[in-house]
Chains A and B, each alone.
Chain A
């Protein structure tokens, strides 16, 4: 068993997506206002103006439609200082985070203050909005706040109301496998398929995993061949972003001989409409020089031409 004592494999994993959100009547007006360099708050039944605006009155539960403009200047009610800004934050140099109550508002919003140095920050300091040069109807139309006072400088309304906002999200992780998964992946790099046997039910899992029937880690390692049976499959007819192959093509569950759980993979080498349950298949490995610790070492599976396996032989593995 090579690699037993090698550390688990890990690799960087970056996830990114654009959250696109529809705004509704209150936030639509708020964001449209920001595009025009105006800050709107919502007035609750008790007369208080909330910035950012609430959509419903927390006391009466009535929809809030009475939006009023507040000043682009305000006061810091609470703050901290950041020496090393993180990805995505409003400024890329040291800055203050602050709760800021704009003049005319009863509540505070959180934003960045470009104060230059920590010594400039204090509770009660006066700040004004620094508007982004290009405004799209997004909270980041407020680039940040800066110390000082300033006259209102609103633009004339222009363009359709903002009804949707998009926020890009990007997160970086280190993905780490379990020791059992690591041995499976390292075996793949040697052209071997490695499973593990549950000590209770004796079933063989590939890739190795905690036995889902007994809730115990699998123990004995079992090397499996690369022949198997199609248990079930689907024909992919729909194009989607990132697709690597032109549809139609077949993704199947393949029960390797000696295993008790199927693995998913591609079936190629015949027309999609000829793939069937019970069909015998074998792995088609990529060129050995390209092998790494990934299931992609197997390019796809192809039919072997053997007679189909009887349904009873795989009916428990659908």
Chain B
């Protein structure tokens, strides 16, 4: 039996907002589903498999992903699954489901109301529950320790980090879903106070509420679609949970994921899920992306980082570059966990 080829045929996202009202993601998801399915030219009853990424810790309510199933319209019954990670990993599950021949179409979605609680404190709970989480190290401080290691190792500079922020904000001016955008002055940024040294505000993604949905298809449904981005490789890898167990500046799991996904050297665009400026610089090295590769034309997670959908949105944005005919090859990357612990790489091609 030959392995089916799978393509992205639709993508939509909600605007990234500092606060999107309701703690339930259901209302946010309805219009996102409608737009993604319209782009895919698919009726919701033609979706064979639904898969989502979200976390109850964000909203502070149990089984929030079950509530979200209302937005699917689960009558008659549907085939559904969920990951407690960024929806990029739900994308991977759906991709495998299609490769296994158990579905021909899938809708993958992620949602999160990061603003309901204090995000950087909530995220402490994803750390080792015995020796780390009981100290409540917040996610910004953990990232700042990683940035310090990269500075000390001479891999990044505060100026190079600020340049990432300047470029991202400028690119985001053409992205209607971005939360922050505009023209920043490099020297002005470097004079601003630290949030968690060596990170300043511009080095950190804003706290964002949001959602995204992506439609996958194989077979005739993919071939017949006028706009599609074929997936030529996907892989994800994980590093040890102990923050002192790995070289935080090398991102080994990103490197191995890129190798396993067959990330080509001539990729034209890469959407990297880097919630901190130094992480984009680390990822460029880890993924072997040289200066010719256009990074994050959407503005990236630095201009809107809805938890549990920002990684999926990177794949959607990369697919959009291919579907629009602007590029022939693009890469989408997603991360989950602290300090780039888990990394997923997806390669998308026009044919």
Chain A residues within 8 Å of B, Cβ to Cβ: 8, 13, 15, 19, 21, 23, 27, 30-31, 50, 52, 54, 58, 77-82, 86-90, 97-99, 101, 107-112, 118, 123, 138-140, 165, 167, 169, 171-181, 209-217
A79 and B145 within 8 A (CB): yes
B70 and A110 within 8 A (CB): no
Question: Which of B129, B136, B244 counts the most A-chain CB atoms under 10 A from its CB?
Answer: B244
Kindly state the separation between the CA atoms of A97 and B196 in the bound complex, as whole angstroms: 10
B70 and A173 within 8 A (CB): no
- Interface assignment of B21: CB less than 8 Å from any CB of chain A: yes
Q: How near does chain B come to A115, taking the closest CB pair, in angstroms?
A: 12
User: Given A13-B60, A78-B146, A173-B116, list of 6 further CB < 8 A pairs?
Assistant: A58-B240, A108-B244, A109-B244, A173-B60, A174-B116, A215-B33
Closest to B132 in A: A110
Q: Which residues of B contact A50 (CB under 8 A)?
A: 242, 245
B22 and A176 within 8 A (CB): yes
Q: Which residues of B contact A23 (CB under 8 A)?
A: 130
B145 and A110 within 8 A (CB): yes
Indicate which residue in A77, A89, A212 contacts B69 across the interface (CB closer than 8 Å). Answer: A212
A171 and B122 within 8 A (CB): yes
Indicate which residue in A52, A99, A172 contacts B131 across the interface (CB closer than 8 Å). Answer: A52
B196 and A82 within 8 A (CB): yes
Give the interface size class of chain B: 35 or more
Kindly state the separation between the CA atoms of A180 and B33 in the bound complex, as whole angstroms: 20
Ranked 7 nearest A-B pairs via Cβ: A215-B73, A108-B244, A80-B144, A213-B75, A173-B60, A88-B136, A178-B22
Q: Which residues of A contact B44 (CB under 8 A)?
A: 215
Closest to B246 in A: A107
A110 and B243 within 8 A (CB): yes
Indicate which residue in A123, A140, A171, A177 contacts B117 across the interface (CB closer than 8 Å). Answer: A171
Could you show 20 A-B contacts with beta carbons less than 8 Å apart?
A50-B242, A78-B145, A78-B146, A78-B149, A81-B197, A88-B136, A98-B145, A99-B149, A110-B145, A138-B134, A140-B135, A167-B129, A167-B134, A176-B23, A178-B21, A178-B22, A178-B26, A178-B27, A211-B73, A215-B33
Q: Which residues of A contact B72 (CB under 8 A)?
A: 215
Contact A97-B141, Cβ < 8 Å, known A82-B196, A123-B152: yes
Q: Which residues of A contact B128 (CB under 8 A)?
A: 52
Indicate which residue in B30, B134, B146 contacts A216 across the interface (CB closer than 8 Å). Answer: B30
B131 and A80 within 8 A (CB): no
B27 and A54 within 8 A (CB): no
Interface string of B198-211 (1 = CB under 8 A from A): 11000000000000
Kindly state the separation between the CA atoms of A154 and B33 in the bound complex, as whole angstroms: 61
What total of A-B pairs shows CB separation below 8 Å?
168
Closest to B244 in A: A108
Kindly state the separation between the CA atoms of A83 and B19 in the bound complex, as whole angstroms: 26
- Interface assignment of B63: CB less than 8 Å from any CB of chain A: no
Closest to B141 in A: A97
Contact A19-B30, Cβ < 8 Å, known A212-B69, A214-B73: no
Interface of chain B residues 109 through 150 with chain A (CB within 8 A)? 115-118, 120-122, 125, 128-138, 141-142, 144-149
B138 and A86 within 8 A (CB): yes
- Interface assignment of B74: CB less than 8 Å from any CB of chain A: yes
Q: Which residues of B contact A178 (CB under 8 A)?
A: 21-22, 24, 26-27
Indicate which residue in B26, B118, B129, B145 contacts A97 across the interface (CB closer than 8 Å). Answer: B145
Contact A167-B133, Cβ < 8 Å, known A107-B244, A107-B245: yes
Kindly state the separation between the CA atoms of A138 and B133 in the bound complex, as whole angstroms: 12
Kindly state the separation between the CA atoms of A175 and B117 in the bound complex, as whole angstroms: 9
B135 and A89 within 8 A (CB): yes
A112 and B135 within 8 A (CB): yes
Q: Which residues of A contact B145 (CB under 8 A)?
A: 78-80, 97-99, 110
Q: How near does chain B come to A187, taking the closest CB pair, in angstroms?
A: 17
Closest to B143 in A: A80
B121 and A86 within 8 A (CB): yes
Kindly state the separation between the CA atoms of A118 and B74 in the bound complex, as whole angstroms: 55
Indicate which residue in A140, A175, A211 contacts B116 across the interface (CB closer than 8 Å). Answer: A175
Closest to B149 in A: A78
Q: How near does chain A come to B210, taking the closest CB pair, in angstroms?
A: 15
Q: Which residues of A contact B199 (CB under 8 A)?
A: 80
- Interface assignment of B57: CB less than 8 Å from any CB of chain A: yes
Indicate which residue in A19, A54, A165, A210 contacts B242 across the interface (CB closer than 8 Å). Answer: A54
A110 and B60 within 8 A (CB): no
Q: Which residues of B contact A108 (CB under 8 A)?
A: 243-244
Kindly state the separation between the CA atoms of A172 and B118 in the bound complex, as whole angstroms: 7
Kindly state the separation between the CA atoms of A89 and B136 in the bound complex, as whole angstroms: 5
Interface of chain B residues 184 through 221 with chain A (CB within 8 A)? 194, 196-199
Closest to B199 in A: A80
- Interface assignment of B155: CB less than 8 Å from any CB of chain A: no
Q: How near does chain A come to B325, taking the closest CB pair, in angstroms?
A: 31
- Interface assignment of B71: CB less than 8 Å from any CB of chain A: yes
- Interface assignment of B331: CB less than 8 Å from any CB of chain A: no
Kindly state the separation between the CA atoms of A31 and B132 in the bound complex, as whole angstroms: 13
A173 and B59 within 8 A (CB): yes
Q: How near does chain B come to A51, taking the closest CB pair, in angstroms?
A: 8
- Interface assignment of B248: CB less than 8 Å from any CB of chain A: yes
Q: How near does chain B come to A225, taking the closest CB pair, in angstroms?
A: 25
Kindly state the separation between the CA atoms of A295 and B334 in the bound complex, as whole angstroms: 42
A81 and B194 within 8 A (CB): yes
Question: Which of A101, A118, A175 counts the most B-chain CB atoms under 10 A from its CB?
Answer: A175
Kindly state the separation between the CA atoms of A112 and B24 in the bound complex, as whole angstroms: 36
Indicate which residue in A87, A175, A181, A213 contacts B136 across the interface (CB closer than 8 Å). Answer: A87
